[in-house]
């Protein structure tokens, strides 16, 4: 068909297809041709801007986004793209003005747009505002594993490990096959010294899920130390193969450093149970320190997304009632069962001395979230 009979939407669709395939040069040719015929087609200018952005041609991207916004100043995709481009150019204030304008226009409930803005901020190291946009994405779509995982990444970067554990496990509750979130969770647990819990998560991934050597190295190290596997064990073969694909031939110095990292000062392997014992002592101490206001109302969210309000005892009773397997069981057995499961998955020992200690310990393990 002659180009003269193609609509602006046809040009946009062709370019979008090429863009999704990573063929940015060809997409730009199509878009430039379309703009020549339809100079006022906003979507074509925005498409051209995103193609320049993908090619890291930030000055050209900015110019194209500004041309699009001169035609439609309140176009949400144009504002999001301009904000992302300005971040790349170091204009944080300009980018935040563009992002705030999106919220003023009422797009705070647009899940995909909030994730796009949050990820742009996160990539440039602006973690706190990124967390804000991820939170809006999660509020708009509570069933979104992507939003939950992004909140997990941002919480970790902000030093909130309990929040990170909760959101990463929430993402996996929503999508058990979410390999990126599971690998991040495993690495987080490893960094906390909770090696058995880290191995539990690593073992639920496949070699092809990994695109970074760190997680593969750690998985191999943990399997060798926990199961006493020799280097030539067949169980390690697919992981060593994947490591070679991701990182090339292992450097002997890197291998030595990895082994040193896994050892204590006395040459022995790190014992995660020491950290668990310390955590238990702190939790038990907290439980014994009774504070005024025990009857105050609190609000928690479970991994299943259930909101529960009440004092600590009421919250615990509601949690048990919501679990069909334990509706007729005792509170003590219910707490013990959840504590065992939480420890297996997170490495954190959850105290079961009373409702408050149990709920606070569960929040520290990331198996629920205390909001108030």
The SS3 of residue 299 is strand
pLDDT tens-digit series, residues 155-205: 999 999 999 999 999 999 999 999 999 999 999 999 999 999 999 999 999
For domain 1-107, the CATH superfamily is Tetratricopeptide repeat domain (1.25.40.10)
pLDDT tens-digit series, residues 280-339: 333 433 443 344 444 589 999 999 888 999 999 999 999 988 888 887 788 889 999 989
Task: In whole angstroms, give the CA distance from residue 184 to residue 148.
Answer: 13
Task: In whole angstroms, give the CA distance from residue 102 to residue 75.
Answer: 9
Query: Distance of alpha carbon 140 from its chain centroid, rounded?
Result: 17
CB 311 within 8 Å of CB 297: yes
- Alpha carbon of 224 to those of 180, 220, 229, 231: distances in Å? 23, 6, 4, 8
The count of C-alpha atoms lying within 13 angstroms of the C-alpha of 129, restricted to the half-sphere facing its C-beta, is 18
- Comparing CA positions, the residue from 121, 52, 59 lying closest to residue 87 is 121
Looking at the chain, the domain(s) classified CATH 1.25.40.10 span 1-107
SS (H, E, C) 122-140: HHCCCHHHHHHHHHHHHHH
The count of C-alpha atoms lying within 13 angstroms of the C-alpha of 21, restricted to the half-sphere facing its C-beta, is 11
pLDDT at residue 1, rounded to an integer: 43
- Alpha carbon of 147 to those of 113, 127, 143, 306, 362: distances in Å? 11, 14, 9, 17, 22
Tokens of 69: 């916004």
Dihedral angle at the C-alpha atoms of 360, 362, 365, 370, nearest 10 degrees? -60
Task: In whole angstroms, give the CA distance from residue 184 to residue 181.
Answer: 5
pLDDT at residue 275, rounded to an integer: 42
List the chain residues with pLDDT less than 70.
Answer: 1-4, 248-295
CB 371 within 8 Å of CB 173: no
Task: In whole angstroms, give the CA distance from residue 260 to residue 49.
Answer: 48
Q: CB atoms < 10 A from the CB of 191, how many?
A: 12
pLDDT at residue 110, rounded to an integer: 97
pLDDT at residue 305, rounded to an integer: 87
pLDDT at residue 296, rounded to an integer: 81
In sequence order, which residues have a C-beta less than 8 Å from that of residue 254 and are 6 or more positions away? none
Mean pLDDT of the chain: 88
pLDDT at residue 282, rounded to an integer: 38
pLDDT at residue 344, rounded to an integer: 84
Task: In whole angstroms, give the CA distance from residue 369 to residue 304.
Answer: 11
pLDDT at residue 46, rounded to an integer: 97
Tokens 């509601």 correspond to 318
Spatial strand order in the sheet of 368-370: 307-310, 298-302, 368-370
Task: In whole angstroms, give the CA distance from residue 365 to residue 85.
Answer: 38
């Amino acid at each position: 068909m002659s180009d003269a009979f193609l609509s602006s939407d046809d040009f946009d669709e062709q370019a979008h297809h090429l863009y999704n395939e990573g063929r940015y040069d060809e997409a730009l040719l199509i878009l430039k041709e379309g703009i020549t015929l339809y100079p006022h087609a906003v979507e074509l200018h925005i498409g051209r801007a995103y193609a320049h952005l993908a090619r890291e041609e930030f000055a050209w991207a900015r110019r194209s986004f500004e041309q699009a916004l001169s035609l439609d100043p309140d176009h949400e995709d144009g504002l999001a793209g301009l904000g992302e481009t300005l971040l790349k150019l170091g204009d944080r204030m300009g980018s935040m003005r563009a992002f705030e304008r999106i919220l003023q226009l009422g797009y705070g409930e647009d899940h995909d747009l909030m994730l796009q803005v949050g990820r742009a901020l996160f990539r440039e190291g602006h973690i706190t505002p990124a967390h804000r946009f991820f939170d809006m994405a999660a509020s708009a779509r509570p069933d979104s594993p992507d939003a939950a995982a992004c909140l997990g990444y941002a919480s970790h970067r902000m030093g909130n490990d309990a929040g990170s554990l909760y959101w990463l496990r929430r993402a996996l509750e929503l999508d058990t096959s979410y390999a990126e979130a599971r690998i991040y969770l495993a690495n987080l647990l490893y960094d906390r010294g909770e090696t058995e819990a880290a191995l539990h998560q690593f073992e639920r991934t496949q070699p092809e899920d990994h695109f970074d050597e760190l997680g593969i190295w750690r998985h191999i190290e943990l399997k060798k130390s926990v199961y006493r596997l020799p280097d030539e064990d067949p169980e390690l073969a697919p992981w060593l193969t994947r490591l070679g694909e991701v990182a090339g031939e292992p450097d002997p110095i890197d291998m030595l450093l990895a082994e040193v990292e896994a050892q204590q000062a006395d040459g022995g392997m790190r014992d995660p149970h020491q950290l668990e014992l310390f955590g238990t002592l702190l939790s038990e101490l907290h439980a014994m320190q009774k504070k005024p206001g025990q009857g105050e109302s609190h609000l928690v969210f479970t991994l299943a997304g259930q909101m529960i309000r009440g004092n600590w005892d009421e919250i615990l009773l509601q949690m048990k009632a919501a679990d069909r397997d334990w509706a007729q069981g005792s509170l003590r057995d219910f707490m013990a069962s959840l504590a065992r499961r939480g420890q297996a998955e997170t490495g954190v020992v959850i105290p079961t001395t009373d409702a408050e200690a149990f709920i606070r310990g569960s929040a520290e393990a990331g198996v629920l979230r205390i909001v108030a």
